[in-house]
Amino acid sequence: MPETVTTPPTPTTAPRKTPLAPLAPYRRLLSTPGARAFTLGNLIARLPMGMFSISAVIMIAGSHDSYALAGAVTATGLAATALVAPWTARLTDRHGQARVAVPATLIAALGSLSLLLCVHYDAPVWTLFLSYAATATTPNTGGMSRARWAHLHRDDPATLHTANSFEQAVDELCFMTGPVVAAFLCSTLFPEAGTLTGVVLLVAGILIFAAQRSTEPPIAPRSSTTRSPVRTPGFPALLAVFLATGAVFGAMEVATIAFADAQGHKSAAGAVLALQAAGSCIAGLLYGSLRPAPDDDVPRRLLICLAAMTVLTAGPLLSATTTTSLVTLAASLLLAGAATAPTMVTGMTLVQRLTPQGQLNEGMTLAVTALLGGIATGSATAGWLIDHTTPSTAYVTPVAAAALAFLLAFQRTLTRGIVVEAVK
């Protein structure tokens, strides 16, 4: 009887994971028709967002020898933005991104150029406030980009999750590099160079972005019954969470600058804060490669992110109160930044879920406005603590703000409201 020879089965080879595997979702995202063009324009327009404030401070402080005046002018601009931005976004939803963003940008550009000329020619102080307040019409470029992604991938939660993570990483990249570029230009060329470059980039970027009409969200019909996203159940409480989260960012920045100054390394404060943004940028990209949470599980994920933020923001407080090492503080800020992007991505996902389709620009701008209000509040609170106690003590503020954000999100009104709307 002949011996039967059996051929062993060919082993199946599991797909090999390459080091670039986490970037695969982003390659697919940017392969969306028209995505690269509007992303390029938006990136160019968004970079100045991290340049204008520090450029204005350098210009005004150098000309008038007063950081107090410089801070008051930029604070006025921030307050004006908080009032004007939601109206600009509402007009964008009603008339389209291209029709509103371009003229709004030109008005803001004229405001920046007016500030530049007023500082250069030593105009009366009141003109500085008026000029910088005019920049409040700057459109929310990040919100417009997120609105496009939400329109293009409204039926694909996984890709939309990746898009939100990508946008948050871009935010961190711009706010990480913008101040460095502005400081370099103002110090090596002339004090007005940062503002002038920012204006050119903003206008050029918006023109490129607005020209991409194929990806622009359609204008949704509105009626007399159309109401503001603020009246959506759960939305006001979510804005309160963004307000408290913004206070984390504002307080951390002021406390870090003061701590570095107290150690005689004020010039290194920007690099230290850049590490925090870098930690957030990396975490955002990694977070975007993960599977998105189901609709009814997004609020729980937000709670987890806020809890992580509360724990990680305690790191800088511990470092500052137990050591005078700026290197140790920088390491703790890098870790603290890792919680920023996942929190913001999840929060923006909830904003998109709660906001009616035709009001996405307004909904996301309201969230950004709440963040700006929180940044101003956190900065002022940390500044008061620095003046009356020590820079190390000021790190209590971001920890308390993160804990408050967690408690607000934990409230039954927010949780139930978001769950009900998300499941619909």
Question: CATH homologous superfamily of domain 36-217?
Answer: MFS general substrate transporter like domains (1.20.1250.20)
Alpha-carbon distance values, 292 to 23, 28, 104, 295 (Å)? 15, 16, 35, 9
Instruction: Give yes or no for a contact between 354 and 418, defined as CB atoms under 8 angstroms apart.
Output: yes
Q: Give 367-394 pLDDT, tens digit per residue.
A: 888 887 887 788 778 878 887 888 888 8
In 296-353, which ranges are E strands? Answer: none
When the pLDDT of each residue in the chain is averaged and rounded to a whole number, the result is 80
Return phi, psi of residue 252, to 5°: -65, -40
DSSP letters for 168-233: HHHHHHHHHHHHHHHHHHHHHT-TTHHHHHHHHHHHHHHHHHHT-GGGSPPPPP--TT---GGGST
Each domain of the chain, given as residue ranges in start order, spans: 36-217, 229-424
Give the pLDDT confidence score for residue 205 in this predicted structure.
93
**Alpha carbons 216 and 204: distance in angstroms, whole number:** 18
Split at pLDDT 50, 70, 90, the class of 225 is low
Q: Give 171-180 pLDDT, tens digit per residue.
A: 777 877 777 7
The DSSP H or E segment spanning 5 is none
* Cβ neighbourhood burial of 71 (10 Å; 0-12, 13-18, 19+): middle
Instruction: Give yes or no for a contact between 406 and 217, defined as CB atoms under 8 angstroms apart.
Output: no
Q: Give 125-144 pLDDT, tens digit per residue.
A: 899 999 989 998 988 888 88
Instruction: Give yes or no for a contact between 150 and 35, defined as CB atoms under 8 angstroms apart.
Output: no
Instruction: Give yes or no for a contact between 166 and 24, defined as CB atoms under 8 angstroms apart.
Output: no
Q: Give 341-362 pLDDT, tens digit per residue.
A: 888 888 888 887 887 766 777 7
What are 234's two structure tokens?
């759960």
Percent of the chain with pLDDT over 70: 86
Q: Assign residue 309 a region: left if phi > 0, alpha if psi is -120 to 50, beta otherwise?
A: alpha
| pTM of the predicted model as reported, rounded to 2 decimal places | 0.74
Q: How far is CA 64 from the centre of its chain?
A: 31
CA-derived radius of gyration, the chain: 23
DSSP letters for 249-287: HHHHHHHHHHHHHHTT-GGGHHHHHHHHHHHHHHHHHHH
Sign of the Cα torsion 290, 370, 339, 142 reads positive
Q: How far is CA 384 from the centre of its chain?
A: 25
Other C-beta atoms closer than 10 Å to the C-beta of 114 total 18
Alpha-carbon distance values, 7 to 4, 11, 367 (Å)? 10, 12, 64
CA angle centred on 117, ends 112 and 120, rounded to 5°? 125
Instruction: Spell out the residues 6+ positions from residue 279 whose beta carbon is closer than 8 angstroms to its own.
Output: 333, 334, 335, 336, 337, 338, 340
What are 279's two structure tokens?
């930690």
Q: What is the DSSP letter of 139?
A: -
Give the pLDDT confidence score for residue 17 in this predicted structure.
46
CA angle centred on 171, ends 255 and 295, rounded to 5°? 105
Give the pLDDT confidence score for residue 224 in this predicted structure.
54
Q: Give 295-332 pLDDT, tens digit per residue.
A: 567 788 888 899 999 999 999 999 999 988 888 998 99
Q: Looking at the predicted structure, is the pLDDT value of residue 35 above 60? A: yes
The CATH number of the structural domain formed by 229-424 is 1.20.1250.20
What are 268's two structure tokens?
């290194």
**Alpha carbons 214 and 236: distance in angstroms, whole number:** 33
CA angle centred on 26, ends 24 and 27, rounded to 5°? 65
Burial 214-239 (b: 16+ CB within 10 A, else e): ebbbeeeeeeeeeeebeebebbbbbb
Q: Mean pLDDT, to the nearest integer, of 236-242?
A: 88
| Among 187-191, 379-383, 405-409, the least confident range | 379-383
